[in-house]
Structure 1
Amino acid sequence: MKTCAVAVCAGLIGSAAAADPPQVRGMEAEKTGMSWRISVTLEHPDTGWDHYADAWRVEDAEGTVLGTRELLHPHVSEQPFTRALTSVMLPDGTENVYVRARCSVDGWNADAAAFPLSPVD
C-alpha cells in the first residue's frame, strides 16, 4: 500500500457570498489495489441539523465527480473532523485531485481545493 499525505490547504474555500462555507483543511490518499481511499478533513461552524457540512466530493481537473462522501449528521463538537471514502477510482496518470465541500444551507462551495498525488510505484 502506498500513502500520499498532502499538506493542509490554507485559505478559505468557497464564494465570498456564502457565509461560513465548509473549509477543506487537508486530504490524504492511499492506493489500495486498483482504487483509492481518500480521507478529507473539513472545518465548518456546524450549529446542528439546521446548518452543517453535509458532504464532500473528489473531482478531476475538468470537474468530473469521481466520488462523493455524504455526511449524515452535524459535527457541532467535533471540529475539524476527518472522514474517508473508499473505492474511489482515479484515472491512470491523475496528478491532482480536487475536493469540494457542501453545507446544508449554502450548497456546494464555488471553489475546490487542489491536492497533488504522489506517484505510485
Structure 2
Amino acid sequence: MSQVQAELKYSKEHEWVEVLDNERVRVGITQFAQEQLGDIVFIELPEQGATVKVNESMGTVESVKAVSDIYSPVSGEIVEVNGELEEAPEAINGDAYGAGWMVVIKLADAAELDELMTAEQYEAFSKEEE
C-alpha cells in the first residue's frame, strides 16, 4: 500500500494538502499518484499570483507513461511555487510528501478543507482504485 501521511488531507484526484496556518496550505500529489504515473519527466505548474478554483486543473505532470492534470484541492491564490521541480521533476518520485511539494495556496474559503478526506478515508479510497 502507498505511504499515507496521517497529518495531511487528501482529494479524490490524489492530491495531498498540508495545512500550514489558518490561511495557507501546501499541495502536492500523493505517493499513490506518483507510483501510478511512474517516472516523472516534466511538470507544468501555475504562476505565482494565479487564482485557482477547487477541482479545476492547475497544471500537468508528465511521466514516461502518461500526462495527467493536477487538480486544485482548494480555491485561492498561488503564493508560492516549487521552482525546483522545473529542473528536477523526478523529486516527486523520490519524495512526494517532501521535496516534491508543488504549490502553496492562500485559501479563499477554509471551509473547503472540510470536504477533503482524512488519511484513513484516503487509504480506503486508494485501495479501491488499485
TM-score in terms of structure 2 length: 0.37
Q: Which has the larger radius of gyration?
A: 1
TM-score in terms of structure 1 length: 0.39
Point out the structure with the larger strand share.
1
